[in-house]
Amino acid sequence: MRRGHAAACGRVGAAVMAIAVGLLSVACSAGGAPSIVGKQTLRIGVKADQPGLGLRLPEGRFAGFDVDVARYVAAKLGVRPEHITFVPVTSANRQAALENGSVDMVLATYSITPERETKVTFGGPYYVAHQDTMVRGGDTAIRSVHDLDGRRLCAAAGSNSWRRVTQELKIAATRVPAASYSDCVAMLLRGRLDAVSTDDLILAGFAAREGTAVRIVNAPFSDERYGIGIRKGDLGGCEAVNRAVSAMYLDGTAAALLRKWFGKTGLQLDTEVPQFEGCG
């Protein structure tokens, strides 16, 4: 083979390699994790038992604020509605679902915490909720989180909310384990515990369903930054998600969705773009 022809072949080979590397970089993030960017289908983890946020209806479809936000973000990523599969997750298995690839994203009242950030990359937050307390409708003795001293408090599996009461605030409530917040509310109504303390959006959804049988204390005491969980290291995916969340607030979609799901609850809703955590 002539030297000039060999050099030309070498340049073609190098170009092909460069294209291959470029395509690979689209599929993977800077950290080497599989990325949601460029995917044509998405499996998205949502709650199945939280009215107003993520609820599986009798016919099998999912509905709620988190579900609608997931559809919006997916559309901004180029994924059509018919190419989204919603997968039910719980507070206890959200992280495992991301790690084992059962889902590509999680929108399930997933509060961003330093501990969780060591294992999950978060886009957002897409909303900042506030922890509050719900009691039975006739209970007027509990007016703030500090009145939970000596009371029976629900501890939903996989959630940090009860720890903020008993460990961070040092309130001597008696912990009553439950599998989910749906179970917490059922136990509250049956008199098996005295209070459920968690994010106000979660409580508002249940309060809208249960009516006067329950009462939200309306004494918030923390910020709960709802993040969009993706696989650890997918920085490109995180940046794409953040662009989508910004657009959702700027075009009025976020405000419309918040009014749709929580406008009749009396909850004070924040329609300003949340301050993002950053993807570094």
Asked if the model's pLDDT at residue 137 lies above 70, the reply is yes
pLDDT band at 221 (very low <50, low <70, confident <90, very high): very high
- The model's pLDDT over 176-208, given as tens digits with 9 standing for 90+, comes to 999 999 999 999 999 999 999 999 999 999 999
pLDDT computed for residue 266 by the predictor: 80
Among 129-133, 140-144, 266-270, where is mean pLDDT lowest? 266-270
Asked if the model's pLDDT at residue 171 lies above 90, the reply is yes
Asked if the model's pLDDT at residue 26 lies above 90, the reply is no
pLDDT band at 34 (very low <50, low <70, confident <90, very high): confident
Q: CB 147: neighbour CB atoms within 10 A? A: 19
Catalogue the long-range contacts made by 29-33 (C-beta closer than 8 Å, 24 or more residues apart).
29/233, 29/234, 29/235, 29/236, 29/237, 30/233, 30/235, 30/236, 31/232, 31/233, 31/234, 31/235, 32/233, 33/121, 33/231, 33/232, 33/233, 33/234
What value does the mean pLDDT take over residues 9-32? 42
Query: Among 109, 113, 135, which residue's Cα sits nearest to residue 52?
Result: 109
CB 154 within 8 A of CB 231: no
- The model's pLDDT over 65-78, given as tens digits with 9 standing for 90+, comes to 999 999 999 999 99
Give me the domains of the chain, ranges plus CATH numbers.
Answer: 42-128+224-262 (3.40.190.10), 130-223 (3.40.190.10)
pLDDT computed for residue 265 by the predictor: 84
- The DSSP call for residue 165 is I
